[in-house]
């Protein structure tokens, strides 16, 4: 008896609700669920997406954006290739390698066009220029993009493998070894490991960016599935329109971007460190070639350089084809 009454009430309620919503114009234009998978757990670099969400740029394009954390660029790109997610935010170099193996993926916007790759150590070790690396110990992660480009940096700066000692370990070991003094330097990103070392040791860190010595490589970008680009070019255009606005805003007010990310996920990190990180990240949105461009619009020259570097040092197969197969600016505003 009681059950029946409840059912009736529910039915009545549902009818009222349906009537109310049915009359609203929002019903006619339902927002599209779109998923973006990041390259890693949340850190400063990801804040602009949250700013764009908070300021309604994605909503305005009819996109209900779902931001998912990732576990490395490789798996994120695989997820895009398998259409498990709509877009990915991942390392473009890695994407080219996966693409060369037959994955139908393409970069439709390159966020970090200047390379954050660096070799860094505590300032008290007095390592300020490449020659100072001689006789020191460098921590690397075997197989990652930095360790692959490292030989080119050595060549450009006149160093040889035998000039220093190398220790190898995963991302955490690399950090630990510099913090604990087992290594003097590590290969890392200039908006990532240096902040972590500084936070842990309370000592300043000196960074030697690869880009300062003519070794530049594009890094993170928006990755999409080629089939999706063919079927829904409009979605890619709308997504990039919103993302471009979001990244422009983040360049102007990194604090607001970090706050937006922390509001969405309080565990993303320490506010001050995230702001420092993002302030180091936004200058990487442009190279001298693209200084006047809006974010994401990469220069063919920069892409070509990166592609050549991948062929020569990054283990990319010679059958990989042309760089134009792997990126496009046509979906950008």
Partner 1 sequence: MNKLLNSQWLRPFIMIIMLLVLWDLAIRFFKVPAYLIPPPDKVVGQLIAEWPRLLKESSLTTYATLGGFALSILFGVPVAMLIAYSRLVESYVYPLLVFSQSIPKIAIAPLFVVWFGFGIIPKVICAFLLGFFPVVVSTVMGFKSIEPEMIDLARSMGSTRWQMFYKISLPQALPSMFSGFKVSITLAVVGAVVGEFVGSNSGIGYVLQIANGNFDLPLMFAALVVLSLIGVILFVVIDAIEKMMIPWHPSYRNEFHASA
Gap between the Cα atoms of 226 and 326, Å rounded:
10
Q: DSSP letter string over 214-263? A: T-----EEEEEEHHHHHH-HHHHHHHHHHHHHHHHHHHH-HHHHHHHHHH
In the complex with partner 1, the residue whose CB is nearer, 226 or 237, is 226
| Least CB distance to partner 1 at residue 315 (A) | 5
DSSP three-state, residue 131: helix
CB 178 within 8 A of CB 197: yes
Shortest separation between residue 131's beta carbon and partner 1, angstroms: 25
Contact present, 243 and 52 (Cβ < 8 Å): yes
How many residues of this chain interact with partner 1, rule: CB under 8 A? 29
Contacts of 85 (CB under 8 A, 6+ apart): 35, 36, 37, 68, 76, 79
Q: Is 170 in the site for partner 1 (CB under 8 A)?
A: yes
Q: Which residue from 49, 61, 67, 97 is in contact with partner 1, where contact means CB under 8 A? A: 97
Binding flag, residue 192, partner 1 (CB under 8 A): no
C-beta closer to partner 1: residue 79 or 120:
79
From residue 297 to residue 316, the character string flagging contacts with partner 1 as x (rule: CB under 8 A) and all else as - is ------------------x-
Residue 83 in tokens: 């259409």
Which strands, in side-by-side order, build the sheet including 205-209?
A: 165-168, 137-140, 185-189, 117-122, 205-209
3-state secondary structure (DSSP) of residue 122: strand
Nearer to partner 1, 148 or 193 (CB): 148
Taking the least distance from each CB to partner 1, the nearer of 39 and 94 is 94
User: Out of 177, 206, 282, 290, which residue is the one contacting partner 1 (CB under 8 A)?
Assistant: 177
Number of Cβ within 10 Å of residue 264's Cβ equals 15
Considering only 75-83, 116-124, 226-234, 324-332, which stretch makes contact with partner 1 by CB under 8 A? 75-83
Evaluate whether 85 touches 258 at the Cβ level (below 8 Å): no
For position 106 contacting partner 1 by CB under 8 A, the verdict is no
Cα angle 243, 296, 293 (rounded to 5 degrees) comes to: 115
CB closer to partner 1, 68 vs 84: 84
**Nearer Cβ to partner 1, position 118 or 137?**
137
Handedness of CA 39, 43, 44, 50 (dihedral sign): positive
Please pick, from the candidates 39, 76, 115, 148, the single residue that binds partner 1 as defined by CB under 8 A.
Answer: 148
- Among the candidate windows 23-31, 58-66, 98-106, 244-252, which touches partner 1 by CB under 8 A? 98-106
Q: Is 103 in the site for partner 1 (CB under 8 A)?
A: yes
* Interacting residue ranges for partner 1, rule: CB under 8 A: 74, 78, 81-82, 94, 97-98, 101-103, 141-145, 147-148, 166-170, 172-173, 176-177, 180, 182, 315
């Amino acid at each position: 008896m009681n059950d029946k009454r409840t059912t009736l009430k529910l039915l009545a309620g549902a009818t009222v609700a349906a009537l109310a919503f049915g009359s609203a114009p929002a019903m006619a234009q339902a927002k599209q669920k779109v998923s973006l998978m990041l390259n890693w757990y949340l850190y400063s670099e990801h804040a602009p997406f949250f700013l764009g969400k908070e300021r309604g740029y994605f909503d305005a394009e009819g996109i209900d954006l779902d931001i998912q954390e990732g576990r490395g660029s490789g798996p994120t790109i695989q997820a895009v290739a398998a259409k498990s997610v709509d877009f990915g935010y991942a390392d473009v170099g890695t994407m080219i390698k996966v693409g060369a193996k037959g994955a139908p993926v393409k970069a439709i916007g390159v966020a970090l066009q200047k390379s954050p790759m660096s070799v860094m150590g505590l300032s008290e070790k007095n390592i300020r220029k490449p020659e100072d690396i001689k006789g020191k110990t460098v921590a690397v992660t075997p197989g990652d993009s930095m360790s692959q480009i490292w030989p080119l940096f050595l060549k450009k700066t006149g160093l040889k493998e035998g000039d220093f000692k190398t220790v190898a370990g995963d991302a955490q070991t690399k950090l630990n070894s510099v913090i604990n003094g087992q290594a003097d330097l590590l290969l890392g990103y200039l908006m990532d490991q240096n902040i972590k070392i500084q936070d842990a040791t309370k000592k300043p860190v000196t960074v030697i960016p690869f880009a300062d010595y003519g070794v530049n490589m594009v890094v993170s970008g928006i990755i999409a599935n080629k089939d999706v680009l063919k079927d829904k070019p409009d979605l890619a255009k709308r997504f990039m329109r919103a993302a471009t606005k979001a990244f422009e805003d983040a360049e102007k007010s990194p604090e607001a971007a970090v706050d937006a990310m922390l509001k969405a996920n309080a565990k993303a990190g320490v506010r001050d460190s995230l702001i420092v990180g993002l302030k180091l990240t936004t200058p990487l949105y442009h190279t001298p070639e693209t200084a006047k461009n809006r974010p994401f619009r990469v220069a063919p020259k920069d892409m070509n350089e990166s592609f050549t570097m991948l062929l020569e040092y990054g283990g990319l197969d010679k059958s990989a084809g042309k760089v134009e197969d792997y990126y496009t600016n046509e979906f950008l505003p």
